Amino acid sequence: MVIFPNCKINLGLNIIRKREDGYHDLETIFYPLPFYDALEIITNTENHSTHSVQFSATGIQIDGPEENNLCIKACYLLKKDFPQLSTIKMHLHKAIPMGAGLGGGSADGAFTLLLLNKKYQLNLLTNQLISYALQLGSDCPFFIINKPCYGQGRGEVLEEIKLSLSSYKLIIVNPGTHINTGWAFSQIAPAKPLQSIKEIIQQPIETWKHTLINDFEKPVLLQYPQLQIIKDQLYSKGAVYAGMSGSGSTFFGIFPKDQIVELDLPSTHFIKEINLS
């Protein structure tokens, strides 16, 4: 069985306070994008296999030890409560840039839960899947819902909202710059914003440039001033709104759907145009 995990962007991101448990309360809008990895799971019929999960991958190279992979973690998380689960072979084709603020890894983990639930008829409800997803990471619960959502708490307190960008297209630019999330949080003085992102997002998109802010942008651009070139060019080429997703380093521009956009950026940058639906 095959499933296609998609990525997301953050439309605005405010860090409101640091909690006693070390996490931060935030608010953001999660918006899903039709840009996908591919994940396949089959039952392993090789009786001599000693591992519950045999994992393989193609596409963008996945760094780090295999045990840190959220797909594998998701399998063992369910295996703990459903020991009858079959041993499986899992293959991930990675197309979404990693460590880019697009939530690709989080999507892969969450979609593993969804796929196992469907394939093996575990009959888990949405709220149960969200609970498992939160154990994998703060962004993972969003991908269980996978519709435009207003996120609070660590990002796991989700409220579906009416927001459609279907009359626009999106261009994402990832320069390959790694932004350490812990460092990014350390650069921010948490504060409650004057106006909630939930209110800002209901205003005409042409007004967002002056009101819809990602708190991570300022320190990231100060530390990596070359990234400002990307944002400036997105606006100079006609974006109605441009911003950074998550803690970076991906920037995105929202453009009228019929506009031809040709960016003049280094060939080493990952650039993708996405029609929104």
Active site residues: 8, 139
Pairing of strands 88-94, 53-59: parallel
- Following CA atoms 235, 172, 30, 63 in sequence, which dihedral angle do they give, to the nearest 10 degrees? -140
Query: Which two structure tokens, joined as six digits, stand for 181?
Result: 């999330």
Count of positions (residues) in the chain: 277
Query: Which two structure tokens, joined as six digits, stand for 193?
Result: 């914003």
CA nearest to 32, candidates 127, 99, 106, 94? 106
- Following CA atoms 25, 217, 100, 146 in sequence, which dihedral angle do they give, to the nearest 10 degrees? 50
Pairing of strands 88-94, 38-43: antiparallel
Half-sphere exposure for 115 (CA within 13 Å, toward CB): 26
Residue 176 backbone zone (phi > 0: left; psi -120 to 50: alpha; other: beta): left
CB 107 within 8 A of CB 6: yes
